[in-house]
Amino acid sequence: MSVAFLFPGQGAQYAGMLHDIKNKWGLATMFEEASEALNQDVLSLDSSEKLKYNKNVQICLFIAGVATARSFKNKGYSPDVVGGHSIGAFGAAVTSEVLSFKEALFLVKKRGELMENAYPDGYGMGVVMGLREHQLLSIVHEISTDAAPVYVANLNAPDQITISGTLKAIEKVLEKASKKGARKTKMLHVTVPSHCPLMEGVSSELRKIITEVKGKAPVVPFIGNCKARKLWKAADIKEDLAASVALPVRWHDATEVMYEMGTRLYIEMAPGRVLTDLTAKSFPEARAISAAESTTKSVLILMEKEKM
């Protein structure tokens, strides 16, 4: 049996998250390294006010995920496979040693800046629960226009799908989805239209930047966002990181690949819990836990048992 480390994406953030992680796991040197690289105190980025900015959210989530994984590694425990949802993929890339911490931090900062500048207001994301992809696609195609586009974005579970686009179009889709039998719909705390064609320009710019980073072959399997496949080459992983900002995240398929590889323990890195719940529902025979909501000792015991 094997252990997977899952790195959460936007929506998992909360005020004070980096302070909580530092208090729980320490890693003062890593926070100092990040602050030096960004030329600012990263612990100043997790306030409610600062987290209104997409760039800061992405930086905080990235640091949180890597810090969690590093705390386990420092105790001699490593994953057998990694995967990250959206921005979480950069944390997975560091943990699999494709990118260095500083390389990925630079890319995450640029990614956040590019996304923020592309669509400063009037755009976002929503989520629909209880409808299948083909049902939601039908609604999206009916409502989306050139002036107010909306797209199906992340496929988190067979019946949990996010949409991206203009806020007006998203609201219309959510309203129609509710009338068509959706169990739940809501707007997400995301200020940009991620993972849809509106981000193709950002993807192109990010690709230019990321090609300048050499990267290394992963030391553990890395499951990509775009095609939900195991990637073994640095070039393929870098392309996935660049392309995924404009393409849907096939998250359910990614976790299914992990399951087929023998994963029976999924550990979500801080500060998340959403991926834990998705995995527990999709794979009841496996175990999914949130590191942020568990003691370090309990997580290590479970990892030890899984690897026996």
Residues 147, 295 within the same domain:
no
The pLDDT tens digits for 262-286 are 999 999 999 989 999 999 999 999 9
**Is the per-residue pLDDT at 308 higher than 90?**
no
φ/ψ bin of 228: left (φ > 0), alpha (ψ from -120 to 50), beta (otherwise) = left
Residues 182, 282 within the same domain:
no
**Paired tokens of 295:** 């003691």
| Residue with token string 């509710």 | 178
Mean pLDDT score of the chain: 96
Residues 112, 221 within the same domain:
yes
Mean pLDDT within 239-246 = 98
Residues 79, 52 within the same domain:
yes
Residues 20, 76 within the same domain:
yes
CA distance 206 to 87: 13
Residues 291, 219 within the same domain:
yes
Residues 128, 107 within the same domain:
no
Q: What is the pLDDT of residue 25?
A: 87
Q: What is the pLDDT of residue 191?
A: 87
Residues 266, 297 within the same domain:
yes
Residues 96, 183 within the same domain:
no
What's the predicted TM-score (pTM) here? 0.96
The pLDDT tens digits for 101-141 are 999 999 999 999 999 999 888 999 999 999 999 999 999 99
| Residue with token string 């107010």 | 148
Domain termination residue (choose one: 190, 213, 246): 190
Longest Cα–Cα distance of the chain, Å, equals 57
Domain termination residue (choose one: 136, 165, 190): 190
CATH number of the structural domain spanning residue 39: 3.40.366.10
The pLDDT tens digits for 41-59 are 999 999 999 999 999 999 9
CATH number of the structural domain spanning residue 163: 3.30.70.250
Q: What is the pLDDT of residue 120?
A: 82
For 90, the domain range is 2-118+198-306
Q: Looking at the 3D structure of the chain, how many domains does it have?
A: 2
The pLDDT tens digits for 177-213 are 999 999 999 999 888 999 999 999 999 999 999 999 9
Residues 248, 279 within the same domain:
yes
Residues identified as active-site: 86, 195
Domain termination residue (choose one: 190, 210, 231): 190
Residues 46, 94 within the same domain:
yes
Residues 144, 102 within the same domain:
no
